[in-house]
Chains A and B, each alone.
Chain A
Amino acid sequence: GAVVSQHPSWVICKSGTSVKIECRSLDFQATTMFWYRQFPKQSLMLMATSNEGSKATYEQGVEKDKFLINHASLTLSTLTVTSAHPEDSSFYICSAGQGNDEQYFGPGTRLTVT
């Protein structure tokens, strides 16, 4: 149980375009979803926390107009990277929680912006 999926697993896009990444909790309802960014050989950095039906809370330094997060239901959250640039290339990982201290992580999405 507690499976989280992400789609796509990898994506290549041109500079200036927007990319949407989906995160789904497959067998449970996630009250909270988290989005992380991981640079090569580095740790995960929390980007934002989203609760179903409300606006996401962004970490300091994360541009909310660039990284749009929508948590439309208890099983789906989306991250849209708008007007992507090469420096946005990274591994994006989502996780889902049920209100306790544990999070269940998706497999990640590798974004490459050319």
Chain B
Amino acid sequence: GDSVTQMEGPVTLSEEAFLTINCTYTATGYPSLFWYVQYPGEGLQLLLKATKADDKGSNKGFEATYRKETTSFHLEKGSVQVSDSAVYFCALSGPYNNNDMRFGAGTRLTVKP
């Protein structure tokens, strides 16, 4: 079945460092890909998405490009802030799995001042 493999954390960075969180997927057809963020004690918030190959999703300085050839959707940010500390989940959804959302394991990011 469809699945997502995500770089395990935790990841600890200093403020203004470059962030990459790797995500690869296995899916039937062409799913939509998502990054969600979960702040402590809160529910998931959509960070960005991409619906087809070569699409780039971006939001709040975060970016991810849908790479069909490598089945990847890596999350990047050029300069992280303390407020970016959270858990990040990569996910996919598509018509072949009834639009069920399949999540990666999550990566906990801590940014230190």
Contact = CB atoms under 8 A, between A and B. Distances in A.
Interface in A61-114: 93, 95, 97, 99-108
- B interface bracket (residues with beta carbon within 8 Å of A): 20 to 34
Given A44-B44, A93-B43, A102 B103 contact: no
B101 interface: yes
A54 interface: no
Nearest to B101: A103
B42 to A, nearest CB: 6
A44 B105 CA distance: 8
Tell me which of B98, B100, B104 has the highest count of chain A C-beta atoms within 10 A of its own C-beta.
B100
A42 B44 contact: no
A13 interface: no
Interface string B17-36: 00000000000000110101
A108 B41 CA distance: 9
Interface residues of A, number: 22
A95 B32 CA distance: 17
B101 to A, nearest CB: 5
Contacts of B51: 101
A5 to B, nearest CB: 10
Contacts of B66: none
Contact of B93 (A41, A42, A101, A108): A101
B82 interface: no
A108 B43 contact: yes
Contacts of B105: 42-43
Contacts of B104: 43
B72 to A, nearest CB: 18
Contacts of B46: 102, 104-105
